[in-house]
Amino acid sequence: MMSPATASAQNCATLDVVVARGTSEPGYLGSAIGDPLYAVLSTQLPVDTTAHRVEYPADLLVPSSVGDGTRAMTTHLLSQAAACPEQRFVLVGYSQGAAVTHGVLGSPAMLVLPGMWVLPAELSSRVVAVLLFGDPLRLVGGTVAPLYADRTENYCTAGDPVCAGGIFPTAHGAYGWAFAAAAGQVNARL
């Protein structure tokens, strides 16, 4: 299995897994979701993959954090789409990163915020799957833009205060149960 850092060096892999980590989450792609999810995806998918960390503050005290994340994710997708015409994408967002991913996809709830960078619709066919974990918009009934609804999986652990209104803060980082299912969903869409 390749590490995300090694995988990133292979620019035009079949599938680029683009991860927006959660608030203050350590790790290259994020220790709660991105790193362990990519480990599962890279071993279970039948195609070569790369991993990309969305560089943004991931800090609730930085008012522009989500907007910065949408700019970074959209810029990466546009750059990769131009450089690698056959490459397709899996977009992953955890917690605040899920809000970033919503913004990139043009989710109606996010378009009211300033500074959102939305992926052009002509690139939508290159997005194989959208995987959201601990999505704060889920709690208020927010959904992805209709263009992406058929390829989006939104995982929420019971008791997670961020996506389910639960009372168990540790549930917000307990998503290992969903990784094999997420890999299966991506594989089914390849």
Catalytic residue status for 95 = yes
Residue 142 and residue 37: Cα distance in Å, rounded? 24
Tally the C-alpha atoms within 13 A of residue 68's C-alpha that lie toward its C-beta: 13
Catalytic residue status for 76 = no
**Side chain identity, residue 25:** E
H helical segments located in the chain: 4-8, 34-44, 65-83, 96-104, 136-139, 179-189
Given the residues 52, 76, 102, 172, select the one marked as catalytic: 172
Given the residues 95, 102, 107, 135, select the one marked as catalytic: 95
Residue 115 and residue 69: Cα distance in Å, rounded? 10
Question: Using only C-alpha atoms, what is the Rg of the chain?
Answer: 15
CB 151 within 8 A of CB 143: no
Given the residues 35, 68, 135, 160, select the one marked as catalytic: 160
For residue 21, give Cα distances in angstroms to 48, 51, 162.
22, 12, 15
CB 2 within 8 A of CB 36: no
Residue 78 and residue 80: Cα distance in Å, rounded? 6
Catalytic residue IDs: 95, 160, 172
